[in-house]
Structure 1
Amino acid sequence: MDLMELFLIALGAAVIVCYGVKLLLFSRMLFPKMWFPLSKSFFTSMGEWAVVTGASEGIGRAYAFALAKQGMNVVIMSRTKVTLDQVAKKIGDTTGQRVKVIVTDFMKDNVFSEIEDQLRDLNIGVLVNNVGTLPNFIPCKFLESADLDQAITNVINCNVKTMAKMCKIFLPGMEKRGKGVIVNISSGVASIPFPLYTLYAASKVFVERFSQGLQAEYKDKGIIIQTVAPFGVSTRLAGYQSTNIVTLSPEDFVKSSLQYLRAGDKTHGSVCHTVLGWLLQSIPLKVLYSELMLHSLQDYVKKKTALTAQSSTFESDKNK
C-alpha cells in the first residue's frame, strides 16, 4: 500500500468521522429534554424578574407568559399601553405573578436612561430582546422601500441598537451575581444574505454575531447568552399565517425554544426550523437569487397577506 492510498483512506475516515459527529450533534436537537435538561427552579434561580421587549403580542408575549408560568415576575415593554395592560392583567390572573408595564418606543433615540431608572432596583435574571421591525411588510429591493431613510433609522434603532443597549443595562448585574440568561431573537433569514429582506436580514446578522461574541466573553461568568433564529411563526410580521408543521404558533415556538437554552450560542428553536436552516444553507445561492425565485417569494407573501386580510374581515363580520 503506497502513501497515496494511505492518504485517501485517512481522508475518507476523517470525512466519515466529521459527518458522524455532525449527525450526532443534530440528533441531540431531536431530544432536547434529554440532552439539555433544565431543573424546575432553573429560571427562578437566575433572578426574581424577567424583562421582555416587544411583549404586547406574538413571540414576546409568549415569552412573557412562559417565564411567568415558570415562577418569574415579568417586565413587559412595548409602545402600545392598552395592549400591554391587557397582557399584564392576563398574565397576573393566569399565573399570579407580578407584572410591570413600561411603555416605550424603541424606534426613538433616547429611551434607555428612563428604562434603566425604572428597573434599577429589580433583580433581573432573564432578558429577552425580542422587539424588532421590518422595513416593509411585502419584501422588496432595498431602494424600493417606502421612506427609505426612516426605514433605515427604524431598523437600526429597533433591531440593533435596542439589543445592545438592553444588554449594557442588565449584563453588569448578571456579571456581579454570577448568573443570568439573555435571549436575543434573530431570524432564519439571517442564515444567508437574503435579497428582498436585505436590511432586515443584515440587522439580524448583527444580533447573532453580537450575541455569540458576548457569550464567548461572559460564559465563564455563569451567564447564558443565546440567539434564537426562528423561521415561520404565526405573528403579525408573518401575516398571521395558519399554523402547521413549519409555521408554529408563538406559544408552541417559545415552549420549544426554551428547551434548547443550553444547546449553544445559537439555535433555531425547534426541530423543523433547524431542518429548514440546514436546507436553506444547502441550496446554491444562484438558485435562491434567481429572478424567478425572488418574484415567487414576493407573490407568495402578497397572496398570504391577502388571504389573511380576507380571513380577518370575515371573522370581524361574523362576530358583529
Structure 2
Amino acid sequence: MESLTVVETLQPAVRAIFWVGALITASLALWLLYMVITGFRIWVLGNGDLISPKLGKWAVVTGATDGIGKSYAEELARRGFSMMLISRSQEKLDDVAKSLESTYKVDTKTIAVDYSQADIYPKIEKGLAGLERILVNNVGISYTYPEFFLHIPDLENFITTMINVNITSVCQMTRLVLPRMEARAKGVILNISSASGMFPLPLLTIYSSTKAFVDYFSRGLNAEYKSKGIIIQSVLPFFVATKMTRIRKPTLDKPTPERYVAAELNTVGLQDQTNGYFPHAVMGWVIAILAPIQLVICLGLRLNKSQRGGYLRRRKLR
C-alpha cells in the first residue's frame, strides 16, 4: 500500500521528465532536419546562376595573379565576366589577362599597384571608372614563418605593410566600388578573410588579427547594405594548396584553389559568412561549436612553435 502511494506520488514527476525528454528529442530532430536541408541547399543545389553577367559585365579581382585570386579571375571569366585584374606585377598581370582572353574570349583590363603603399587609390579609382559589378578583395600577405611578435624581422615595417595590404586595401577598395553599386541597387563584394580570423592564432598574431577585422568589417557592412540589394560576404578558407600556404599536394581538406573557388561562389547569397567549401565548413563548425577556444589557442601555439623551430633549423643548415 505504501509502495503504491510512492508510485502515485512520483507519477507527475515521471510525466514531466518524459515530456521534457520528448521536447528535447523533438527539438534536436527538428534542428538536425533544418541543418540537413540547409546544407543540401548550400552545398548541393547552390545559388544557381546568381553569379553571372546578369549582375553586370565587369568583375574586379585584387591579388589576381596567383593562388585563390587567379582562380577567382579564371572562374568568373569562365562564367562570362570581363575582368579587371589588379596586382603588383604588370608582367604577371599581362600573362593572366592574355590567358583569360584566349581561353574564355572575354575583355580584360589591368592595374599594376603595390597594396603595401597608401598612395595607390587615386590610380585605382581612375582605372575602375564604370567597371565594377563584382569585387573580390583577395589581396593579402602572411608571415614568412610563424614568429613571436617582438622577434619578427623589421617589425615596424612589417606591421605597416600587413595593415596596408590586409586591412586598408579592403576598406579602400570597398569605398571605391560601393557608391556605384548602391546607386544601381545591385552588386557583390567578396572579402577573402581566413579561418585563422575565427580565433586568435599565436605566432601568426598580426595576420590572424587582420583577418578577423576583415570578417567583422564584412558582416557589419553586409547588415548595412543587404536591404539595398548589395551582397557583402565574408569568406574564411582553411588551408588551400597555394604558394602562400606552401602546400603542394591537394587533399580533400586542402583543395586546389580552382576547386575551392568553384565551391565558394555557389554560397554567395546563401551565406553571409562562409568557409566556402564543404570540408572547411565542417571544420569550422567543429571549432566554433565543439572545441573550447582555449584548446584551439593552445593547439595553434604548439603547431606554430613546431613550424617555427623547423624553419629556423632549416635556415641554419643553408
1:176 maps to 2:183: yes
Compute the displacement of 1:286 (Å): 3.6
195, 198, 221: which one aligns with 1:214: 221
Q: In the TM superposition, what are the counterparts of 1:1-320 in structure 2 within 5 Å? A: 6=16, 9-10=19-20, 13=23, 17=27, 20-21=30-31, 24-25=34-35, 28-30=38-40, 32=42, 34-39=44-49, 42-122=51-131, 124-134=132-142, 136-281=143-288, 282-290=290-298, 294-300=301-307
The Cα of 1:285 is off from its aligned counterpart by 3.4
Cα distance in 2, alignment partners of residues 198 and 74 from structure 1 = 34
**Matched residues in 2 for 1:300 and 1:27: separation?**
40
SS in 1 for 2:133: strand
C-alpha distance after superposition, 1:21-69 (max 9, x if no partner):
2663365335536543322x74211111000000010000000011111
User: CA offsets per residue over residues 88-123 of structure 1, 9 Å max, x none?
Assistant: 11011100101101000111011111111111132x
For the Cα contact (< 8 Å) 1:234–1:240, is it kept in 2? yes
Please list every run of at least 4 consecutive aligned residues from structure 1 whose deviation after the TM superposition is greater than 4 angstroms.
Answer: 1-12, 300-307
Letter aligned with residue 65 of structure 2: S
Paired with 1:22 and 1:47, the residues of 2 have a C-alpha distance of: 38
Unmatched segments (≥5 aa) in structure 1? 308-320
Equivalences, count: 303
The alpha-carbon distance between structure 1 residues 209 and 293, as it changes in their structure 2 partners (threshold 3 A), is closer
Q: 1:116 & 1:185 partners in 2: Cα distance?
A: 21
What SS does the corresponding residue of 1:230 show, helix, strand or coil? coil
Separation (CA, whole Å) in 2 of partners of 1:301 and 1:250: 25
The SS at the match of 1:29 is: helix
Identity of aligned residues (%): 34
Q: TM-score, normalised by structure 2?
A: 0.86
In structure 2, what is the Cα distance between the partners aligned to 1:4 and 1:105? Answer: 70
Deviation at 1:301, TM superposition (A): 7.2
Give the Cα–Cα distance (whole angstroms) in 1 for the partners of residues 90 and 214 of structure 2. 27
Equivalent pair of 1:234/1:249 in contact (CA under 8 Å): yes
Change (3 A) 1:6 1:289: same
Segment of structure 1 superposing worse, 271-280 or 47-56: 271-280
Superposed CA deviations along residues 281-313 of structure 1, whole A, max 9, x for unmatched, are 3323343344x7634334357769999xxxxxx
Output the aligned Cα RMSD.
Answer: 2.7
For structure 2, which runs of at least 5 residues remain unmatched after alignment? 1-10
| 1:275–1:47 distance in 2 versus 1, CA, 3 Å | same
Q: Tell me: CA distance 1:253–1:86, structure 2 relative to 1, closer, same or farther (3 Å).
A: same
**Quick one: distance in 2 between partners of 1:114 and 1:253?**
31
Are residues 139 and 19 of structure 1, via their aligned partners in 2, closer, same or farther at CA, if it must alter by over 3 Å? Answer: farther
In terms of Rg, which structure is larger?
2
The verdict on how the C-alpha distance between 1:280 and 1:196 changes in structure 2, with shifts beyond 3 A counting, is: farther
Which residue identity lines up with residue 55 of structure 2 in the other structure?
M
Inter-partner Cα distance in structure 2 for 1:113 and 1:2: 74
